[in-house]
Amino acid sequence: MATKTAWGGRFTQDLDARASRFLASVDVDSRLAEEDIEGSLAHAEMLCAIGVLKAEDLVAVQRGLGTIRDEVRAGTFPWDAAKEDVHMNVEAALTAREGDVGARLHTGRSRNDQVATDMRLFARRSCGEVGDALDALASALVTRAEHEVDTLLPAYTHMQRAQPNRLAHHLLAWVEMLHRDRGRLDDAARRMNESPLGSGAVCGTTFPLDRARTAAALGFDAPTRNSLDATASRDFLLELLAALSIAAVNLSRLAEELVLWSTQEFGFVEMADAHTTGSSMMPQKKNPDVAEVVRGKSGRVVGDLVALLVVTKGLPLGYNRDLQEDKAPVFDAVDTVRDSALVLAEAVAALAFRRDRMRAALAQGFVVATEVADYLAAKGVPFRHAHEVAGRLVARALEDGKELAQLPLAVYREAHALFDADIFHALDPEVAIERRDIPGAPARTRVLAAIADAKARLAARGAR
């Protein structure tokens, strides 16, 4: 069975039904209904201002589109796949309700500049929504850091215990990553904030459209500078997906740490029952499923970026129907990163930190070995020589089954004559942390200042 094509004046044969179903995108792009109506209202007001539409026509358009928007929001709008996409569905409904004014609305406009405008509106809004979700997670981390300033644990490199650290300092590292993630989204939003509306199908239009007027009405900084670029390029979506992919990877790393720290082997945290599940066979299990699924979903977001890169990599100017495939990956990535950040924010807020296990981990693993080397270096020994002395003392401690602080002073003096009794003061983890009193380090005053700075940055963006 054939389907009547939406633009049938040129054609003598109707579109094949299977081809019609294959080409239809309304099941995906109906999500752009709000943006499509917003762009149409701005276009109509501009057409009225330049005399293409009469004042009564504008009233009819505003009335009809307002009713359609209400139905879309209520979930009662009758979407029709035979009309291909969101644009034709909205236009057909407007024409059915208000007459020929619905057909006049498309004057000077193509679906090419229409969808490019819709996607910029959606992407710009999504940058803010996802950014707010990332800020919610950052706020949860800062709040936890405020209460854990005096909680000590080892810092790790290569998954080996490295040096003494404050839990607050550790949590604030994630805040810095999230701050950069938000910054990338903000940068992308600024760069994409130009209006394609009025670019037409490929080379503009003969009608004297006031593109600056519609750009301002839609909150854009200016119209796009080139009609071919405006309708045929999707690098603004690639930039959004790249930023989302980096954010998803950072969320995955945080999720991985929650998974790792909640193991019995670490035991640094216990996730709340509300963010864990049990096993269908093993009754003792408490699985960190929320964190695991966040970690897993990051792969989808990276895949969304790759999908759109491949779609766009071979396209000539101008518009090509391949770009119909730009929406699904963008919608998926936006939803996934936003939801992942929000669920992690709730999980972080509900975590129970096992301070005793963290502190106990400081007692093993020679985490103060660097202090031994620094002690000698501060007395004038070249650091590389001091490092070698500290390494020999670690080897002696391993041989004796002791930690560095348990070795007698005589052993230290055998290793180097400059050791004195105050070496044991330097081996106290709290002393070791407090001696790291430079910007970006974990001394208590530095951490308190970092918390204040993080709170100020979040407050400046309106985050709670």
Domain boundaries in the chain? 10-107, 112-201+225-360
Catalytic residue among 40, 43, 227, 279: 279
Query: Which CATH homologous superfamily contains domain 112-201+225-360?
Result: Fumarase/aspartase (Central domain) (1.20.200.10)
Number of helical (H) and strand (E) elements in the chain, helices listed first: 20, 8
Q: What is the rounded radius of gyration, in angstroms, for the C-alpha atoms of the chain?
A: 30
Q: Catalytic site residue 158?
A: yes
Q: What is the pLDDT of residue 8?
A: 56
Q: What is the pLDDT of residue 285?
A: 86
Do 10-107 and 112-201+225-360 come out as alike in CATH topology? no
Return averaged pLDDT per consecutive 10 residues of the chain, 464 residues in all: 54 71 79 97 98 97 98 96 92 96 95 97 98 98 98 96 97 98 98 98 96 98 98 97 98 97 96 89 89 96 98 93 93 98 97 96 94 96 97 97 96 96 96 96 98 97 83
Q: What is the pLDDT of residue 1?
A: 43
Catalytic residue among 25, 43, 158, 169: 158
Q: Which backbone phi and psi does 428 adopt, to 5 degrees?
A: -70, 125
Q: What is the pLDDT of residue 26?
A: 83
Q: What is the pLDDT of residue 6?
A: 52
| Strand pairing report for 160-166 and 152-157 | antiparallel
The dihedral built from the CA positions of residue 161, 397, 442 and 271, taken in this order, carries a sign that is: positive
Q: Catalytic site residue 279?
A: yes
Cα separation, 87 vs 109, in Å, equals 11
Q: What is the pLDDT of residue 196?
A: 98
pTM: 0.93
Domain 10-107: assigned CATH number: 1.10.275.10
Q: What is the DSSP string of 169-203?
A: HHHHHHHHHHHHHHHHHHHHHHHT-EE-TT-TTTT
